[in-house]
Chain A
Amino acid sequence: MEYLSYLVATGISTGALYALVALGIVVIYKATQVVNFAHGEMFMLGGFFAYTFHVMLDWPYLPSFALAVALAFGVGIAVDRVAFRPLMQRQTLVSVLLVMIGLSFVLKGVARWLWGGKGDYLTFPPLISPEPLSFAGIMVMSQQLVVLGAACAVMVAFALFFKLTRAGRFMQATADNPKAAKLVGLRTDRVYMYTFGVGSAVAAAAAVLMAPLTLLYPDIGFMLFIKAFAAAVLGGLTSIPGAVVGGFLIGIIEQLAAGYLHTAMQEVAAFIVIMIVMIFIPTGLFGLGRMRKV
């Protein structure tokens, strides 16, 4: 029993990370109908940016954090400019995806060149002291609580953003019916651009918070992308609460698979979830039932 609650607690804290990354994927998908294949690289870059400022240049924590997030926002906008905008006009989804795959590899290669090749795992200090806390006999890293809190905060912020703000309603309207949104005068291009920026910024924030636990290496982006995508697809790919619940579920499923089946199962659980969900429940747990279009 204690073992189980330990696994679940660990699962929740890694799940919070997946949820944060999945939120970005979902927000971008909601607005653009495209899964940003390079989203994991936004996380990876965010972490390396912060590492450069805070560790290599020895700047204080918060400015480094803020600058890393801002830079990631810029990279997100670049993704929109390079991969999304020129191709969406031609409306070829296959091309968009191919370009994003290419982009994710370019960014990974650049990171490998700038911050070290395979096998170099960079450490990054946490926001608060790494004194582990104990809840009901379960040890919890304080950084895990930070990530958990951040995930909840970001989720609430997104929900409010979509419901309450003008920009949020623009994004929603653009997602629901891009042509109509354009007709009533929404500048959909701009909405897409900011969506990519915001999604990337959130991924970067997650990276800075999580880097003390995950370490930083160029391949981390893809690994996280696929897990976060599993979370997003489990949650239905269009639902913000779905992404969060999906993130926690993937975190817990992984830990249970590792704890009770085989440690190597932790890596593969997400792939199996993706395949099962996509084949048997393509709308996910919270999906709107948006099936294949004619």
Chain B
Amino acid sequence: MQVLVGKRAFLTALFVFLFVIPWIANEYHTFVANLILLYVILSLGLNLLIGFAGQLALANAAMYGIGAYGTGLLMKHFGLPFWISAPGGVAIAVISGTLLALPALRLSGIYLALATLAFAQFTFWLMTHWTPVTFGAGGFIPPPIDFSPLPITQETGIYYLSWGAALVLYVFAKHAMESPIGRAFVAIRDGEVAAQALGIDLLKYKSLAFALSGFYAGVAGALYSGMLGFVGPESFDLLQMVLHKAAVVLGGMGSVIGSLIGGVLLTVLVELTKEFKFSIEVAFGGLLIVFVLFQPNGVIVFVRRLLPGWNERLHYVPPGKETEEDFGAVPETDPEAPAEPDDPAEVPATQPRGGGPV
């Protein structure tokens, strides 16, 4: 099939479209577009952690909340301007995120998931019950943000900040994952012991993965507090956690551009279903199930199938599935390579081999 829509052209069109939205769309649509930008950031950050580094942590919504609360509370309690509070809130999110890497060094899989879930619930409890600091379950309204001398409203200002952040953080994630850092992440995901035997420092790269996802969630949270003009605990509950997971899985685990697409699709779907809480739960829980079961590599797989130019270098590939096709793998130098005579006696790699353990 002829490539009509290149990746670069698509990205340019998407970001140009998002750039002009405040001029052409009404207030509600602009708000939704802003949410899209935040979910793109959230889904990128979470994908770095679970899709690339393979660390199944369930505290992303908490990091998001910490970014929002940190920013809002620094403004509210200390009268600091947004320009100082926001980096402060992000810094707190990064620090908490990095601390979560500590259990990740000792725990993996289900243990890590539940330890981070307990942390997330603890954070949520603090937001709800530590009233003197967090204003409790009712939330609070942070002071307005001054964009002077620019002649723009808070809404427009936050919108373009989010736009810039999403663009920069997209490029940031893409470049980082196409570097030795990305290879170290994927190596840890696919084989921690082998990664370490190649000299990859688990402490360093796991901490980096957690710090990065904390950073992304923190940035999204800081922007969220400014966008909504209100911060309350219910925005950062378990449902939010599932939405972030759904965005990553929907777009494609281990695909940077997949996260971009996932963030956009998820926000649109949430806006379509948000009338009823039960339907959100069913819709996104169901989405998670369907995609993990039937297309764990997300919608990006369909895109790649249609548009070969969309291949990326590092992908999430579940063992024994879709490898060849996904990589668009064509032998580089030797077209006859597949004819390589494999001895039938050889044990296929995916099956358990014989031979006694020592």
Q: B-contacting residues of A (Cβ < 8 Å)? A: 34-35, 82-83, 86-87, 90-95, 97-99, 101-110, 112-113, 117-118, 179, 222, 226, 229-230, 233, 264, 267-268, 270-272, 274-275, 278-279, 282, 292, 294
Residues on B with beta carbons closer than 8 Å to the beta carbon of A109: 277-283, 285
Known: A271-B118, A275-B118. A104 touches B285 (CB 8 A): yes
Is A101 a contact partner of B106 (Cβ separation < 8 A)? no
Residue of B56, B118, B287 with most partner-chain A CB within 10 A? B118
Query: In the complex, given contacts A105-B239, A267-B129, A274-B115, what are 18 additional A-B residue pairs having Cβ atoms less than 8 angstroms apart?
Result: A34-B110, A35-B110, A90-B321, A95-B292, A95-B293, A95-B296, A98-B249, A101-B288, A102-B286, A105-B281, A106-B282, A109-B277, A109-B282, A268-B121, A278-B103, A278-B115, A279-B106, A282-B111
Interface presence of B108 (CB below 8 A): yes
Among B106, B114, B245, B321, contact of A233 (Cβ-Cβ < 8 Å)? B114
Is B56 a contact partner of A94 (Cβ separation < 8 A)? yes
Residues on B with beta carbons closer than 8 Å to the beta carbon of A222: 238
Q: How would you classify the secondary structure of chain B's contact residues: helix, strand, loop or mixed? A: helix
28 A/B residue pairs, CB under 8 Å, sorted by A: A35-B110, A90-B320, A92-B318, A94-B109, A97-B56, A97-B113, A102-B287, A102-B288, A102-B292, A103-B289, A105-B288, A108-B281, A109-B282, A112-B281, A113-B276, A113-B279, A268-B121, A270-B118, A271-B118, A274-B118, A278-B103, A278-B107, A278-B114, A278-B115, A279-B102, A282-B106, A292-B108, A294-B193
Is A105 a contact partner of B319 (Cβ separation < 8 A)? no
Is A117 a contact partner of B129 (Cβ separation < 8 A)? no
The contact string, 1 if C-beta is below 8 Å from chain A, for chain B 96-124, is 00000011001111110111011101100
Interface presence of B132 (CB below 8 A): no
Q: How would you classify the secondary structure of chain A's contact residues: helix, strand, loop or mixed? A: helix
Residues on B with beta carbons closer than 8 Å to the beta carbon of A233: 114
Q: How far is the CA of A105 from the CA of B239 in the complex (A)?
A: 8
Residue of B280, B281, B283, B288 with most partner-chain A CB within 10 A? B281
Interface presence of B352 (CB below 8 A): yes
Interface presence of B50 (CB below 8 A): yes
Is A102 a contact partner of B111 (Cβ separation < 8 A)? no
**Complex A-B, nearest 6 residue pairs according to Cβ-Cβ distance, in ascending order:** A109-B281, A105-B285, A102-B288, A109-B282, A274-B118, A106-B285
Q: How far is the CA of A98 from the CA of B276 in the complex (A)?
A: 23
Q: How far is the CA of A292 from the CA of B318 in the complex (A)?
A: 21
Interface presence of B265 (CB below 8 A): no
Is A113 a contact partner of B319 (Cβ separation < 8 A)? no
Interface presence of B242 (CB below 8 A): yes
Is B118 a contact partner of A99 (Cβ separation < 8 A)? no
Q: How far is the CA of A106 from the CA of B293 in the complex (A)?
A: 15
Interface presence of B72 (CB below 8 A): no
Residues on A with beta carbons closer than 8 Å to the beta carbon of B50: 94
Q: How far is the CA of A107 from the CA of B281 in the complex (A)?
A: 8
Is B289 a contact partner of A99 (Cβ separation < 8 A)? yes
Q: How far is the CB of A182 from chain B (nearest CB, A)?
A: 11
Q: How far is the CA of A179 from the CA of B239 in the complex (A)?
A: 37
Residues on A with beta carbons closer than 8 Å to the beta carbon of B249: 98
Is B242 a contact partner of A93 (Cβ separation < 8 A)? no
Q: How far is the CA of A232 from the CA of B39 in the complex (A)?
A: 35
Interface presence of B54 (CB below 8 A): yes
Residues on B with beta carbons closer than 8 Å to the beta carbon of A101: 58, 242, 245, 285, 288
Among B109, B277, B281, contact of A106 (Cβ-Cβ < 8 Å)? B281
Residues on A with beta carbons closer than 8 Å to the beta carbon of B277: 109, 112, 117-118
Which chain B residue lies CB-closest to A118?
B277
Which chain B residue lies CB-closest to A233?
B114
Interface presence of B125 (CB below 8 A): yes
Residues on B with beta carbons closer than 8 Å to the beta carbon of A271: 118-119, 121-122, 125
Q: How far is the CA of A110 from the CA of B286 in the complex (A)?
A: 11
Interface residues of B in 250-302 (CB under 8 A from A): 276-289, 292-293, 296
Residues on B with beta carbons closer than 8 Å to the beta carbon of A117: 277-278
Residue of A107, A179, A267 with most partner-chain B CB within 10 A? A267
Q: How far is the CA of A282 from the CA of B106 in the complex (A)?
A: 9
Residue of B58, B238, B280, B319 with most partner-chain A CB within 10 A? B238
Is A102 a contact partner of B110 (Cβ separation < 8 A)? no
Is A226 a contact partner of B118 (Cβ separation < 8 A)? yes
Residues on A with beta carbons closer than 8 Å to the beta carbon of B117: 226
The contact string, 1 if C-beta is below 8 Å from chain A, for chain B 308-331, is 000000000011110000000000
Residues on B with beta carbons closer than 8 Å to the beta carbon of A113: 276, 278-279, 282
Q: How far is the CB of A93 from chain B (nearest CB, A)?
A: 5
Residues on A with beta carbons closer than 8 Å to the beta carbon of B296: 92, 95
Residues on B with beta carbons closer than 8 Å to the beta carbon of A95: 292-293, 296, 318
Is B56 a contact partner of A112 (Cβ separation < 8 A)? no
Q: How far is the CB of B165 from chain A (nearest CB, A)?
A: 27
Q: How far is the CA of A97 from the CA of B115 in the complex (A)?
A: 14
Q: How far is the CB of B301 from chain A (nearest CB, A)?
A: 15
Interface residues of B in 108-152 (CB under 8 A from A): 108-111, 113-115, 117-119, 121-122, 125, 129
Is A268 a contact partner of B115 (Cβ separation < 8 A)? no
Is A275 a contact partner of B286 (Cβ separation < 8 A)? no
Q: How far is the CA of A278 from the CA of B116 in the complex (A)?
A: 10
Residues on A with beta carbons closer than 8 Å to the beta carbon of B279: 109, 113
Q: How far is the CB of A248 from chain B (nearest CB, A)?
A: 20
Residues on A with beta carbons closer than 8 Å to the beta carbon of B108: 292
Is A278 a contact partner of B111 (Cβ separation < 8 A)? yes
Known: A103-B285, A109-B279, A271-B125. A179 touches B292 (CB 8 A): no
